[in-house]
Amino acid sequence: MSRSTERPFAGSLPVFLLSIFGLLLTVPAEARDPLWDSLPWDTRLGVSWYEERAARGDLAAKLRAAQMHEQGIGTVADPAAAADWYAAAAERGHPLALFKTAMAWQEGLFGDADLERSAALYRAAAQAGVAQASFNLAVMTETGQGLPRDRAAAMELYTQAWRQGLAQAGLNLGVLHVSAGGDPLTAYAWLAAAAEAGVAGAATQRDRLGELLGPERVAEAEALPLPPLGQE
């Protein structure tokens, strides 16, 4: 009696495997938003992931949690929560966190505004190289907010902000020289420098002062040396 050499299901096996494979393709691996893969990692992880790491002392996580609350990334924008995380990072001396915490105290995000504390934090951030902190401290010093009013000190701080790369400080220096009875030639030089840097309104102020000075004095003003923008 001859034995059949035909293997069971040999003919139907490829069809069976294709059926299983097709079934697997039709079953979703997971249910998720089709835009998921285009989202940045921080949005995928969520603010709670950063807050958990931040609570364990991770400085980078403190800053990212603060930014996410501030800008409403992956959560509802919450300036107060952002301020709390910035304050936590400021305790570690981070320059941006010092600046943001100074703003929070100035704006009253921790309760009542505390301008003295704000000024102290702005000073720390300015010393760490944050140009906007130098500028804000200059404004507070010029106007006497939380500090004794001192226009000479304000000029020094505006100059520091200019050296740190903030062109807006040049306009404020020019205006302050005019309003405080300073040298009009120096005022013109600062306004011209700010205008050259593209600061809005600086060219108008420069031209008005130039009309009062006249061509000869304008030429003198243009020859005055000023510290370079963005070079401490």
Higher pLDDT: 119 or 67? It is 119
What per-residue confidence (pLDDT) applies to 28?
A: 47
Tell which residue, 180, 179, 204, has the closest CA to residue 192: 204
Q: Against a cut of 0.75, is the pTM above it?
A: yes
What gap in Å lies between CA 126 and CA 134, rounded to an integer?
5
Tell which residue, 125, 127, 121, 150, has the closest CA to residue 138: 150
- Per residue in 11-56, pLDDT (tens digit) is 555 544 445 445 444 444 444 444 445 545 555 567 888 888 888 8
Higher pLDDT: 37 or 119? It is 119
Statement: residue 2 has pLDDT above 50: no
Contact 54, 88 (CB under 8 A): yes
SS3 string, 1-25, reads: CCCCCCCCCCCCHHHHHHHHHHHHH
What per-residue confidence (pLDDT) applies to 23?
A: 43
Report which listed range, 8-12, 68-72, 174-178, is most confident.
174-178
Say if residue 64 is exposed, middle or buried (CB neighbours under 10 Å; 0-12, 13-18, 19+): buried
Higher pLDDT: 94 or 232? It is 94
What gap in Å lies between CA 125 and CA 133, rounded to an integer?
6
Q: If you average pLDDT over residues 132-161, what whole number do you get? A: 96
Could you tell me the residue ranges of all domains in the chain?
167-232
Q: If you average pLDDT over residues 108-123, what whole number do you get? A: 95
- Residues of the chain above pLDDT 90, percent: 63
For tokens 């030089």, the residue is 189
Contact 97, 66 (CB under 8 A): yes
Q: How far is CA 138 from CA 19, 39, 155, 208, in A?
A: 74, 40, 7, 25
